[in-house]
Amino acid sequence: MRYLALLLIGWLSLPVYALTQVDIYRAEVVIDSEQNDGESAAREQGMKDVIVRATGSQSSLSNPVIQKALSSSSRYISQLGKSQVDGKASLKMLFNSGQIQSLLTQAQLPSWSPNRANILVWLVEEQD
């Protein structure tokens, strides 16, 4: 019976080690209809979002290699579609993971894996 209980506890604890798959190469950005080049700006913003997600750092956007690549963000997109977010037009973009990783290597920036550990934080505050 004790063996069965230990087996059951071990089986129930397996999901604890699961990883979360983060889709870091997909972005959706609302198109600013007031700008002449709203779609171009949305593509650039989408690439910025992907770069920050891939590196984990907002400061990676100031890298000269990244700055140069942002001006030609369309080259890094493998799928592009239009959608609606809260009644506003948006662009759905899937960036090419190989090209983004190559860009980060050229820029000498670290990159995070799309598989990320689930983190649970318990915070207890005792008040008198």
DSSP 8-class letter at 34: T
Return the amino acid letter for 86.
Answer: D
Round to whole Å and give the CA distance between 21 and 11: 22
Confidence at residue 125, expressed as pLDDT on a 0 to 100 scale: 79
* Residue whose token pair is 């493998």: 78
Structure tokens at 100: 């983004």
Confidence at residue 27, expressed as pLDDT on a 0 to 100 scale: 94
Percentage with pLDDT > 70 across the chain = 78
Confidence at residue 8, expressed as pLDDT on a 0 to 100 scale: 63
Confidence at residue 11, expressed as pLDDT on a 0 to 100 scale: 60
Confidence at residue 44, expressed as pLDDT on a 0 to 100 scale: 95
What mean pLDDT value characterizes the chain? Answer: 84
Confidence at residue 112, expressed as pLDDT on a 0 to 100 scale: 80
Confidence at residue 103, expressed as pLDDT on a 0 to 100 scale: 95
Tens of pLDDT, residues 17-38: 555 666 889 999 999 888 888 8
* Whether this model's pTM surpasses 0.85: no
Residue 86, phi-psi category: left (phi > 0), alpha (psi -120 to 50), beta (remainder): left
Regions of the chain short of the pLDDT cut 50:
none
Confidence at residue 21, expressed as pLDDT on a 0 to 100 scale: 62
